[in-house]
Amino acid sequence: MTTLTLEGLDALITALGGLGYEVHGPRAVGGVIAPDRIESVDDLPLGWTDEQSGGQYRLRPRADQARFGYAVGPRSWKEILHPARTPIWTMERTPAGEGTPVELRVRMHEPAVVARAFVGVRPCELAAIARQDRVLAHGPHPDPTYGANRAANVIVAVNCAEPAATCFCPSQGTGPRAVAGGYDIALTELVEPTADAADASDAAGAAAGPEPRYVVEVGSLRGAELLSALPAHCLADDPHDEARAASVTDRAAAAITRSVESEGIKELLYESLESDRWEAVAQRCLTCANCTLACPTCFCTDLEDVTDLTGNRAERWRVWDSCFSLAFSQLGPAPQRSSAASRYRQWLVHKMGSWHDQFGESGCVGCGRCITWCPVGIDLTEELAALRQEAS
Amino acid sequence: MTVSPIPAAGLSVALAAPSPLLVPVPYRVIDKVREDGGGDDVTSLHVVPVDGDLPGFRPAQISMLGAFGVGEAAISVSSAVDDRRYHAYTIRRAGPITAALVDTPVGGVVTVRGPFGTPWPLPEVATDELLIVAGGLGIAPLRAAIEQAVAEAHRFRRIVVIYGARTPEAMVYRADLDRWAAQGVEVHLTVDTPSPGWDGPVGVVPTLLGDPVALGWHEDVTAFVCGPDVMMHFTAQRLRELGTGAAHIWLTTERNMQCGNALCGHCQLGPFIVCRDGPVVGYEQIERFHRVRGL
């Protein structure tokens, strides 16, 4: 098994840029760690980790040399692959003249293929991208914008070493180690512990210890090609590194405390559609839609038509939407889901239950974002456990 | 750009032209017909493509009908499948989009994406009796099925149409109903609220089932039901009480529909994505979801 030095990771990022890829990776910006354009390992969030719980997210300093010593932030790769605003078409109207009827000309927006490399994609996020692939690219009518964004997409995954308290990927079978492919290269970061961890808070930004190394797994021909182009002195072959990498993700798995019992969960939810629990959660739910915005699999969109001042040119835009909004279910004069309870139920039953019927898998990857970013800390693992207890 | 042609772990689908259902097609309004007798404003637009041929469709299929700069609404094609002169879309003025559609003048242009969706399984019906139950504007997605059943009347011992409306004035397709009756269809009309001159039954459609409309037993009847959810729910329940097999009852699903391509998530009804799995679904599949309020 190959191991990459930090210089090797830097060379990989530089090489991707040199090949024409727009390189995106995690950065600590604005109080969160989120995908951003990066040019080198210097842009990675050295010296930071994240601390998460229901309704809480804080960056905390860390003293070691980890570049990927955090879980996941509020923003996910879906912002790039399935953008919040997408043009669909423009339409020009030629008003009726003397003897000529009104005419409409439609021009579809043709999305450009942009080659992007994502560095630092978590295993749960690989699963989330695969979920969105299934919905947006492999359905009966593939979405052209999503297809163009994914067509030349290179993914360098990084396995999880520091799960958050809100994580539950093992329940969903998606992490903390990438085992289902979906990447070109997967890395496991090996970090030497600092001599005195108690100094961490004083040492923010001034990390100590030897540089981390990255145990490599190759997931595609492209990944192999990228690796083969790196300078030889950046690559090492230590027979113990495979076991070291495994122990990193084993420790991460052991540190994860939340879980969902997924056996029979779809039937549980279908049987619980008229449970009182929905009303109980609605007492807390603000229907703010934060969970759907932060969720890396939530894909719902709305269509918006706008005209210019002449009234003869119209544009259609597709924008993110949320099943927590009242207008989402508007049917004739009234919304179908008028209560907060019915909207929370729609979200949870779809995410964990009916997604199986619609797309053959769960819609949840266990990243915990919906728990962290819920302003009142509603925890779906708790809600599901309560429904299960009620049903038993 | 010097990106290598070697495949990445990314997407393994070829980039193709967008699905035709994503592309709005201009249609000319060649005629408008006011369908109701007052009260509601229900109008049929008769439309033809500005360029190209009228596509085929099957009864109950829907299209996203668009008004320039306003938006789209999901409307079923309500003309007969073998009528190649135009497609009819019957629309009730309800919100800004449907208002813009029904206000489109003759000679004006609307856009159409479709028709798509699951049809009434008329070719597969193997029973002697075909029962068609409509509530309100639910008659519109059934009109093409009735026309086709009448054209294939030799397949059935009985064709029964039960149609309920709020008031006699709100009833649509009165001339068609008379013609179907003259062609041998048993037509039963009922209203929630009578007005002077109405001498027919008063009450919701399920109250007609069994008595006065006696039905065959079990495997003898196939029912197509379309109307508000609550009407379909009670109609299906009544049919089950009368012995109609659940596998012989077909309903329609309706939810807010935006993309019509199973991409936007709007038209979910439990496990169903209506634009992909509907509008017509079997009662066996929908029963447990149908009775849940606000799903």
Tell me the per-residue pLDDT of A326-370, one tens digit each, with 9 for 90 and over: 999 999 889 999 999 999 999 999 999 999 999 999 999 999 999
Instruction: Enumerate the residues of chain A whose CB falls inside 8 A of the CB of residue B135.
Output: none
Task: Choose the closest CB to B21 out of A141, A150, A349.
Answer: A141
Instruction: Enumerate the residues of chain B whose CB falls inside 8 A of the CB of residue A344.
Output: none
Encode chain B (295 residues) as per-residue pLDDT tens digits. 344 445 566 665 556 677 888 899 999 999 999 999 987 899 999 999 999 999 999 999 999 999 999 999 999 999 999 999 999 999 999 999 999 999 999 999 999 999 999 999 999 999 999 999 999 999 999 999 999 999 999 999 999 999 999 999 999 999 999 999 999 999 999 999 999 999 999 999 999 998 888 887 667 899 999 999 999 999 999 999 999 999 999 999 999 999 999 999 999 999 999 999 999 999 999 999 988 999 9
Contact state of B7 with A21 under an 8 Å Cβ cutoff: no
Instruction: Enumerate the residues of chain B whose CB falls inside 8 A of the CB of residue A123.
Output: none
* Phi, psi for A26 (deg, rounded to 5): -75, 140
- Is the pTM here over 0.90, yes or no? yes
Per-residue pLDDT, A203:
46
B42, B137 contact by CB (below 8 A): yes
Contact state of A300 with B3 under an 8 Å Cβ cutoff: no
Instruction: Enumerate the residues of chain B whose CB falls inside 8 A of the CB of residue A360.
Output: none
Contact state of A357 with B271 under an 8 Å Cβ cutoff: yes
Contact state of B256 with A354 under an 8 Å Cβ cutoff: no
* Residue B107 C-alpha, separation from nearest chain A C-alpha, in angstroms: 6
Contact state of A141 with B22 under an 8 Å Cβ cutoff: yes
Instruction: Look up tokens 């003025």; give the residue.
Output: B93
Q: Does A58 touch chain B (CB under 8 A)?
A: no
The DSSP bridge partners found for residue A60 are A49
| C-alpha to C-alpha distance for A61 and A65, rounded to whole angstroms | 11
The tens digit of pLDDT for each residue in A121-140 reads: 999 999 999 999 999 999 99
| C-alpha to C-alpha distance for A184 and A152, rounded to whole angstroms | 12
Per-residue pLDDT, B10:
64
Q: Which helix (H) or strand (E) segment is A31 a member of?
A: none
Q: Does A225 touch chain B (CB under 8 A)?
A: yes
* Residue A37 C-alpha, separation from nearest chain B C-alpha, in angstroms: 18
Task: Choose the closest CB to B265 out of A106, A182, A300.
Answer: A300
B88, B44 contact by CB (below 8 A): yes
Handedness of CA B36, B41, B46, B52 (dihedral sign): negative
Instruction: Enumerate the residues of chain A whose CB falls inside 8 A of the CB of residue B264.
Output: 300-303, 318, 321
Q: Does A362 touch chain B (CB under 8 A)?
A: no
Q: Does A201 touch chain B (CB under 8 A)?
A: no
Instruction: Enumerate the residues of chain A whose CB falls inside 8 A of the CB of residue B111.
Output: 91, 104, 106
Within 10 angstroms of residue A251's Cβ, the number of other Cβ atoms is 14
A166, A256 contact by CB (below 8 A): no
Rg (CA), chain A: 23
Pairing of strands B87-92, B71-76: unpaired
| C-alpha to C-alpha distance for A328 and A319, rounded to whole angstroms | 12
Instruction: Look up tokens 């289902």; give the residue.
Output: A180
Instruction: Enumerate the residues of chain A whose CB falls inside 8 A of the CB of residue B273.
Output: 358
B42, B36 contact by CB (below 8 A): yes
A226, A16 contact by CB (below 8 A): yes
* Residue B14 C-alpha, separation from nearest chain A C-alpha, in angstroms: 8
The tens digit of pLDDT for each residue in B28-82 reads: 999 999 999 987 899 999 999 999 999 999 999 999 999 999 999 999 999 999 9
Name every residue whose Cβ is closer than 8 Å to that of residue A241 and which is 6 or more positions away in sequence: A1, A3, A190, A213, A215
Max Cα separation, chain B?
Answer: 80
Give the DSSP per-residue string, A210-263.
Answer: SPPEEEEEE-SHHHHHHHHTS-GGGEE--TTHHHHHHHHHHHHHHH-------T
Per-residue pLDDT, B15:
62
Instruction: Enumerate the residues of chain A whose CB falls inside 8 A of the CB of residue B50.
Output: 103-104
Instruction: Look up tokens 């992007």; give the residue.
Output: A116
Q: Is the ipTM of this complex over 0.85?
A: yes
The tens digit of pLDDT for each residue in B151-171 reads: 999 999 999 999 999 999 999
Going by C-alpha positions, the residue among B50, B44, B87 that lies closest to residue B68 is B50
* Residue A336 C-alpha, separation from nearest chain B C-alpha, in angstroms: 5
